[in-house]
């Protein structure tokens, strides 16, 4: 896979992020099997990229999913475990935009939209 050099110019960086978000929206699939692409308007969706860090599962490429903006973190975690066929219990972390090293544990009792932005990357880590 070809690595793309991320621009350092603030204007070009903002354009790059917008294009990457559009690409993610295009390849994202509904995480909830009850949701259909035509049943939920784009303004009611939250798109995230999911990476799995689990020793028992082979390394997976990040996958893009979308959720309804009303879904809670606990429900989103259950749906992701179902979609990704994970057996162990997991915790969900948000990767901060500043760097891959800094992670924030998401609270399961709060809505997902309050804790992550559209286009954000989250990590599922086995507990």
What is the model's pLDDT at position 124? Answer: 87
120 within domain boundaries: yes
9 vs 72: CA distance, rounded Å:
36
| Tally of domains within the chain | 1
Tokens representing 127?
């507990």
What is the model's pLDDT at position 3? Answer: 72
What share of the chain in percent tops pLDDT 70?
89
The pTM (predicted TM-score) of the whole model is 0.82
Report the DSSP pairing between strands 45-53 and 120-126: parallel
Least confident span in 27-31, 35-39, 47-51, 65-69:
35-39
What is the model's pLDDT at position 66? Answer: 94
Tokens representing 95?
């990767």
88 within domain boundaries: yes
1 within domain boundaries: no
What is the model's pLDDT at position 2? Answer: 64
Full residue range of the structural domain in which residue 80 is found:
10-126
Strand partners, 65: 29, 48
58 within domain boundaries: yes
107 vs 116: CA distance, rounded Å:
11
The CATH number of the domain where 32 resides is what? 3.10.20.90
What share of the chain in percent tops pLDDT 90?
38
3 within domain boundaries: no
Averaged confidence pLDDT in the chain = 85
50 within domain boundaries: yes
107 within domain boundaries: yes
5 within domain boundaries: no
């Amino acid at each position: 896979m070809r690595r793309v050099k991320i621009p350092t110019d603030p204007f070009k960086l903002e354009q790059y992020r917008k294009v990457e978000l559009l690409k993610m929206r295009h390849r994202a699939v509904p995480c909830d099997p009850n949701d259909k692409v035509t049943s939920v308007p784009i303004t009611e969706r939250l798109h995230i990229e999911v990476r799995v860090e689990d020793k028992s599962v082979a390394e997976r490429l990040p996958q893009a999913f979308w959720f309804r903006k009303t879904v809670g973190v606990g429900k989103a975690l259950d749906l992701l475990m179902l979609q990704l066929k994970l057996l162990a219990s997991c915790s969900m972390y948000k990767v901060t935009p500043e760097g891959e090293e800094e992670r924030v544990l998401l609270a399961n009792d709060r809505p997902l939209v309050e804790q992550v932005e559209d286009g954000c990357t989250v990590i599922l880590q086995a507990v």
